Amino acid sequence: MAGGPLYLTEEIPGGKIEGAVKITRNRLGQFHMHIPIATPWDRLPPLKPENKRKVVALDPGVRTFQTSYSPQEGVGEYAKGERGFARLFNLCWRIDEIISERKDPKVKLPYLDRRDLKRQQYACMEKIRGLTNELHKKVANDLCRRFDTILLPEFKSQDMVKKNNNGRRRVIRKKTARTLLTLRHYAFRTFLASKVLLHGSELAIVTEEYTSKTCGRCGHIKDNLGGAEVYKCQKCGFKCGRDVNGARNVLLKHLRQPKSV
């Protein structure tokens, strides 16, 4: 890097750099320059009148990254199931293989081989981060383009994956916990919060207690829902996809007490 030219992957808005730049180095030894860009606050689109806004409620999860429900546009799903996460899962499995090979007590690898495996592991981790960043950008851009008010529950994945959280044992499986951490739901929330400002939209953070367990028709709470993919109400017979039911209930919950970001 010393004494060599710098190449930009995209043009700088305005053609010049204003403010201090930041240079970071990742685990593969690659350097990245971060250039701050001033937000044109005076030219941002304003919020539409409340009675003209399109509203969408999201239900974050593991089987589907985000399930959406909108009174105007119905149901939507972003990155659903094994197929939606295939590349991420393949990279995670490859990391497991590399770690097993590096730490196999029966095989003593030469230093150069160990170093090469470590670089392969870091390369997979960087690819995972790149894929999740791409997913976050695509979902956020689509939501901001189509909707004016976005409702997102507080999804505390860090608490969910803890093996012991305030004396309570973790109830989700190891694979589910790993997927939660890989998808980086909080990073998505942070990115979406900054993106809505540029599109004249708004983001409201709501709580999600009982949104999955509550019947969307009669309000009955099903305490034995477990990990079922389909919600079947024992009281009124209502049947709906678990995540869709949760997203719709998030919308109903927002009518009470939203918290904008």
Count CA atoms closer than 13 A to 53's CA, side-chain side.
Answer: 18
Residue 181 has pLDDT above 60, yes or no: yes
- pTM reported for the whole predicted model: 0.82
Least confident of 138-142, 167-171, 201-205, 226-230: 167-171
Residue 49 DSSP class: P
β-strand 168-169 against 164-165: which pairing, if any?
A: antiparallel
Taken in order of first residue, the domains within the chain and their CATH numbers are 55-260 (3.30.420)
pLDDT digits (tens, 9 = 90+) for 12-59: 777 777 788 898 998 888 888 888 887 777 788 888 888 889 999 999
Residue 167 has pLDDT above 60, yes or no: no
| Residue 79: both structure tokens together | 């990155």
| Short-list 102, 142, 98, 141, CA closest to 121 | 98
* CA triple 169-245-128, angle to 5 deg: 60
Question: What's the CA gap between 1 and 179, in Å, rounded?
Answer: 36
Q: Rounded to 5, what percent of the chain is helix, strand, coil?
A: 40, 20, 40
pLDDT digits (tens, 9 = 90+) for 182-198: 889 999 999 999 999 88
